Each structure stands twice: as structure tokens, then as C-alpha cells.
């Protein structure tokens, strides 16, 4: 029988986590289950990174795990198994952000149906439940989302990366929209920052592309900050009002 978990750190995009097989106690014949199996409210769901980290493995485990991803945070691996073939969105060496979609749940490997087998490896496998339920289980230093956004944006636009916004940073901002600069390197840090402010990025999440969901998100942001209606257009125009508000230069 599935158990609904009230998690603090999600690994399923929609945030509904039903536990179908627990760590070490899957059934009488499988006492060595080294993780926990999870499904979403309607079964299949996208998989998101539980914490910021570096992708240390993507591949296929013929012994039972199917397609899987390992991400390392402070020396601790969080592992995601039974992924849908062809759904992996990251590669080894990528830096990923907490909540970023990395793949889709599947039934590859030794699985009886669509699920995520989530595991924690820290000098051997350990119970993953505390990593879902506890505050900051990876002991990651809390980041200032604004400073991180400014720094990452500066890197993306070729400004001096000091994490401090000013006229030079503003002068280098690009126009990004569904038709102009839609895949500019500035899109991803902007998405991460908007997400930290509580904005819904839509079904694709942080993907580095300025699609229709991102346009809707920008329009809502423009409305929320009180821009005139003619500027609530879903376009982040170079050097203009939306960038000024985002960089706190208004």
C-alpha cells in the first residue's frame, strides 16, 4: 500500500510523493532494497534534483537499475534509477540546481512499473528518508539568491563577475523573448532566480529556453512589479525596465 510523504525536499516535480517500497523493507524476499521507490499523484512524473550539485554519472545499469543519474553534493551522491529511456536532460560534469528537471520517471531495469528508485550513497548506501524530510540535509551553505543570480548573469553576458549589479552589468543585458535570444545563456540564471522568488516556470522548469511558459512568467513578474501595461509584454528588453527591476537598479 502506498504511503503519502510530506517531504521538505522534493525529487518529483509536482511535489506529491507516494512511497511504494521503503529502504531495506521492500518485501520479505528483498530485505536489501538500497533505496526507496516513489510514484507521483497520477503515477509518472518528472524527476528533479533534490539539491544543487555536480552530475557524476549518467548511464545504464544492466543489473537492475536501468537508466540512472548520480549527482554529488558535498561528497554525498543522490542517485535516481529506473529513468525513462531517452529522457535524461543532463550529462556528466553538468552543474545542476535544486528543483531542476533532470529526467522522467520510467520502468527501465528491474522495475515492475513506472517509479523512481531514489537512493543516497555516503560511504555505502544509507536511508534516503532523512534527505527528503529534513531541512538542509546536505549541509549546503545557504545562498543569497539575488547575489547568485547577479554573478551567474554577469558570467553569461560577459560582465565582470563580482555579484554586484551596476551600470556596466545593465549595459550588457540582452533582449530575450520567444523570438529573440530565446536560448541565450542569460535565460537559465534568470529562470533560477524567478523560481527562487516563487514564480511558476511551467512544465519545462529550468531548461535555459525562453518558451511560452517563460513568457507568461515574465508577464506576471512585470505586472507584479507595477510596470505600465504596455511594458507587460513578456519580453525582457536590453537595458530596460524589467532588467532594472531584476538587478534592483530601478
Task: Please indicate, yes or no, whether residues 98 and 149 belong to a single structural domain of this protein.
Answer: no
Residue indicated by cell numbers 511535489: 15
Number of domains observed in the structure of the chain? 2
Task: Please indicate, yes or no, whether residues 170 and 225 belong to a single structural domain of this protein.
Answer: yes
Contact status, residue 82 vs residue 111, Cβ threshold 8 Å: yes
30 domain-assigned: yes
Last residue of one domain, picked from the residues 133, 158, 180? 133
Residue-by-residue pLDDT tens, the chain, 250 positions:
689 999 999 999 999 999 998 887 644 444 568 999 999 988 899 999 999 999 999 999 988 899 999 999 999 999 999 999 999 999 999 999 999 999 999 999 988 899 999 999 988 899 999 999 988 899 877 668 898 999 999 999 999 888 889 999 999 999 999 999 999 999 999 999 998 888 889 888 899 999 999 999 999 999 999 999 999 999 999 999 999 999 999 8
197 domain-assigned: yes
Q: 171-230, pLDDT tens digit by residue?
A: 999 999 999 999 999 999 999 999 888 888 988 889 999 999 999 999 999 999 999 999
138 domain-assigned: no
- The CATH number of whichever domain residue 167 belongs to comes to 1.10.101.10
Task: Please indicate, yes or no, whether residues 128 and 150 belong to a single structural domain of this protein.
Answer: no
Last residue of one domain, picked from the residues 133, 157, 188? 133
Q: DSSP code of 11? A: S
Task: Please indicate, yes or no, whether residues 119 and 12 belong to a single structural domain of this protein.
Answer: yes
pLDDT for residue 30: 47
- The CATH number of whichever domain residue 52 belongs to comes to 2.70.70.10
Last residue of one domain, picked from the residues 133, 162, 184? 133
Task: Please indicate, yes or no, whether residues 90 and 197 belong to a single structural domain of this protein.
Answer: no
Record the pTM. 0.60
Task: Please indicate, yes or no, whether residues 115 and 24 belong to a single structural domain of this protein.
Answer: yes
Spatial CA neighbour of 12 closest among 128, 99, 127, 138: 99
Q: Give the chain's radius of gyration (CA, Å).
A: 20
139 domain-assigned: no
Task: Please indicate, yes or no, whether residues 89 and 53 belong to a single structural domain of this protein.
Answer: yes
Q: Rounded to whole angstroms, what are the CA distances from 160 to 100, 154, 165, 169?
A: 26, 6, 10, 8
Task: Please indicate, yes or no, whether residues 29 and 122 belong to a single structural domain of this protein.
Answer: yes
Task: Name the residue range of residue 111's domain.
Answer: 3-133
Spatial CA neighbour of 90 closest among 119, 64, 69, 104: 69
Task: Please indicate, yes or no, whether residues 114 and 67 belong to a single structural domain of this protein.
Answer: yes
Task: Please indicate, yes or no, whether residues 238 and 120 belong to a single structural domain of this protein.
Answer: no
Task: Please indicate, yes or no, whether residues 160 and 124 belong to a single structural domain of this protein.
Answer: no
Amino acid at each position: 500500500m502506498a504511503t503519502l510523504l510530506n517531504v521538505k525536499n522534493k525529487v518529483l516535480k509536482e511535489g506529491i510523493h507516494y512511497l511504494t517500497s521503503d529502504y531495506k523493507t521492500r518485501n520479505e524476499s528483498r530485505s536489501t532494497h538500497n533505496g526507496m521507490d516513489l510514484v507521483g499523484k497520477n503515477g509518472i512524473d518528472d524527476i528533479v534534483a533534490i539539491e544543487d550539485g555536480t552530475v557524476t554519472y549518467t548511464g545504464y545499469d544492466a543489473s537492475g537499475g536501468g537508466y540512472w543519474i548520480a549527482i554529488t553534493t558535498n561528497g554525498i551522491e543522490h542517485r535516481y534509477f529506473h529513468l525513462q529511456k531517452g529522457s535524461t536532460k543532463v550529462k556528466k560534469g553538468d552543474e545542476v540546481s535544486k528543483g531542476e528537471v533532470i529526467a522522467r520517471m520510467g520502468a527501465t531495469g528491474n522495475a515492475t512499473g513506472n517509479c523512481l528508485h531514489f537512493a543516497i550513497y555516503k560511504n555505502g548506501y544509507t536511508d534516503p528518508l532523512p534527505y527528503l524530510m529534513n531541512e538542509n540535509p546536505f549541509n549546503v551553505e545557504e545562498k543569497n539568491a539575488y547575489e547568485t543570480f547577479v554573478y551567474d548573469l554577469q558570467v553569461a553576458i560577459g560582465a565582470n563577475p563580482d555579484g554586484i549589479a551596476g551600470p556596466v552589468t545593465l549595459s550588457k543585458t540582452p533582449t530575450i523573448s520567444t523570438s529573440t535570444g530565446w536560448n541565450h545563456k542569460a535565460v537559465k540564471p534568470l529562470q533560477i532566480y524567478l523560481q527562487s522568488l516563487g514564480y511558476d516556470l511551467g512544465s519545462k522548469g529550468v531548461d535555459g529556453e525562453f518558451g511560452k511558459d517563460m513568457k507568461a512568467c515574465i508577464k506576471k513578474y512585470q505586472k507584479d512589479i507595477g510596470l505600465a501595461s504596455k511594458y507587460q509584454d513578456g519580453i525582457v528588453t536590453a537595458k530596460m525596465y524589467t532588467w532594472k527591476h531584476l538587478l534592483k537598479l530601478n
